[in-house]
């Protein structure tokens, strides 16, 4: 059974595409491509169709990770397409849940930083308006969180196919 993950931030050009591509990097390292698949989206439509931010791409490249993909907006149909929806910050979490007023999918929506092993952060900071060190930090933070979440997924297989 394949577990489907969706990473969500605001614009889908910095944090969530980084998480998606970091997770894909970890999946490839562990040869788990048939067990876990990923995508990413943004809660806002500002950057739909845009590639990942070049500064984020440079920070990821420094760790040997390529950022690929195009921004898209999160929508209610994503609840049925993904087993886990991972928010980068509390505002993203609230915006995702706002599209599920009946609370049917609440159990699938998680905060990615809840799976960090070494970083104390509770949210992934948005590096968009800062300097290069912020982008590097987000890559390090997401590597930690994604490793923890991948282990969680392997230890807790999804019970039903969607």
74, 77, 82, 86 alpha-carbon torsion, rounded to 10°: 30
Supply the angle between the helices 132-155 and 54-61 in degrees, to the nearest 10.
Answer: 70
Residue with tokens 């706002």: 98
Residue with tokens 């149909």: 77
Q: Does the CA dihedral 23-112-42-81 come out positive or negative? A: positive
Active site residues: 9, 15, 126
Residue with tokens 């979490």: 93
CA–CA distance, 133 with 115 (Å, rounded to integer): 22
């Amino acid at each position: 059974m394949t577990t489907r993950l969706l990473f969500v931030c605001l614009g889908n050009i910095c944090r969530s595409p980084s998480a998606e591509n970091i997770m894909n990097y970890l999946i490839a390292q562990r040869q788990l491509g048939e067990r876990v698949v990923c995508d990413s989206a943004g809660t806002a439509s500002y950057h739909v169709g845009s590639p990942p931010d070049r500064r984020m791409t440079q920070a990821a490249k420094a760790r040997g990770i390529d950022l690929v993909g195009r921004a898209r907006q999160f929508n209610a149909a994503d609840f049925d397409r993904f087993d886990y929806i991972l928010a980068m910050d509390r505002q993203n979490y609230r915006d995702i849940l706002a599209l599920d007023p009946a609370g049917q999918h609440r159990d699938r929506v998680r905060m990615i930083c809840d799976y960090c092993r070494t970083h104390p952060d509770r949210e992934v900071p948005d590096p968009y308006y800062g300097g290069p060190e912020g982008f590097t930090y987000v890559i390090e933070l997401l590597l930690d969180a994604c490793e923890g979440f991948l282990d969680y997924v392997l230890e807790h297989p999804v019970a039903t196919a969607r």
